[in-house]
Structure 1
Amino acid sequence: MYTSGTTGNPKGVLLNNINDVSSAQDAAMYFPLSPVDKTMNMSPWFHRGGLHSGGPAPALYIGGEVIILCYLHPKTCLKYAEKYGVSFLIGAPPMLKILSQTPKTRCRLMLLKRNHHHRSTT
């Protein structure tokens, strides 16, 4: 697995079982994730953050669901968040800026917030 990180140059990322399990546990605790959660990470999954910050590793580790995007398309992202009841929508600041500039974003993100609040109070 390779990432460019902050340098823009490819470099290898060592992945083994203990790294993946530890990263998944950390993310699951800090979010906190539960088996009823649904996550959608707008970051590419080839990057460590895309795999572990609300991505497939912690969500599946804890027994939750993952909503998959083939690429970042703001309207599709918001549509999926609403349709599937996403409880954690993750993205880097530039992705969130793109999302916030999409018409009707505020209403849809409020729905996402309600979904999470409902999950956390049950």
Structure 2
Amino acid sequence: MGIECKSDFIKINNKLYPCTVSAAMDLVGGKWKAVILYHLKDAHKRYSELRKEMPGVTERTLSLQLKQLEEDALISRQVFGKKPPIKVVYSLTDFGKTFTPVLAAILEWGNQIAEERGEFVGNAL
């Protein structure tokens, strides 16, 4: 019996999940969260650096996803300076770093999909 089968639900931070996969996907699911974590896996980045590395994401979506990842303790947000222009830097927390093996597996699978079913093209925007 797997850990996800020990009871009907899992409760994390007063939120109920039907299984452990659901809990994990709540943290990293969606189109951009894993991509953000991927771009932060090797180094801390400023907001503008993330925007350049992810041209398909809107500013609003990036801001919301960063806020959610911070609330879920996957990334940290450090603010340097007290008055504009301030410097804000995002990085993975220790908890966020535990996701890097999953990111590596997703990257490997994504590369396989691209090679077998797709093609690399120039800027599609």
Structure 1 and Structure 2 fold alike (TM over 0.5): no
Which is bigger in relative contact order (C-alpha 8 A, separation at least 6)? 1
Given the two structures, how large is their TM-score scaled by the length of structure 2?
0.27
Bigger-Rg structure (1/2) = 2
Given the two structures, how large is their TM-score scaled by the length of structure 1?
0.28
